[in-house]
Structure 1
């Protein structure tokens, strides 16, 4: 993994995205469903000319799905996390599960390290590498 230096705030943001990973996936599904099954017209072009979206509902839905900024951002975050986690060794995957995805959070870093049979420092180094790799994949610095 890379040794790229990232800002402290970026590091914390990536960690918060790791904690919220499962909620983010649910939010993506919710947003997709909202776009796919939106009721009524979302035309805000009151009194103006013709809208720029096509009249074909299928094309309109495809454009909305591909151009929705929040949905795109959430997908980028989830894709980056999944891409990095998929390439990790089993020990590092277990670190992610124990520290970020297990609810309720019951282990400290010392507890996570003990579960992995490594030192606390090794567990923290793994975390640093993973967070930096995710930040780099998303394009955050």
Structure 2
């Protein structure tokens, strides 16, 4: 592993947790967008001065969709995972599905290796490469 692709242990663990939570992240993105589009945002200006958001409801919604920090962060994580996943060959996609996206998660690396007819060390190497690629895509180290 070269110095350019080395990432911190905490970053590695964080990206792995994001892989496990990918489908929940997609659901949260949809929920936040629906809240902005159809619900009353919880950050309305109550009793204060004038709002800095446009008076036009369409412009206000567009502004909220593009400036919502949590939504922006979740979308960045999800699109990074998606773009890396889509570029993977089928065997690595299957490994991601078995390890991170199968519910309930009962498989060990050894069990996945047996199911995929490959070695555990190969799967770990693939995982490390995938996590590092996602980290680089997101600009994390």
TM-score greater than 0.5 by the shorter chain: yes
What 5-or-longer segments of structure 1 have no aligned partner? none
State the Cα RMSD in Å.
Answer: 1.7
- Corresponding residue for 2:26? 25
Instruction: Quote the offset at 1:53 in angstroms.
Output: 1.1
Shift in CA distance, 15/47, structure 1 to aligned 2, threshold 3 Å? closer
Distance 1:34 1:45 in 2: 18
Equivalent positions of 1:82-97 (< 5 A) are 82-97=82-97
Equivalent residues of 1:45, 1:51 under 8 A apart:
no
* TM-fit CA distance, 1:130: 0.3
Offset at residue 139 of structure 1 (A): 1.2
The equivalent of 2:136 in structure 1 is 136
| CA distance in 2: counterparts of 1:114 and 1:9, whole angstroms | 29
TM-score scaled by length of structure 1: 0.92
Partner of 1:54: 54
TM-score by length of 2: 0.92
Equivalent position of 1:74 in the other structure: 74
Equivalenced residues, count: 139
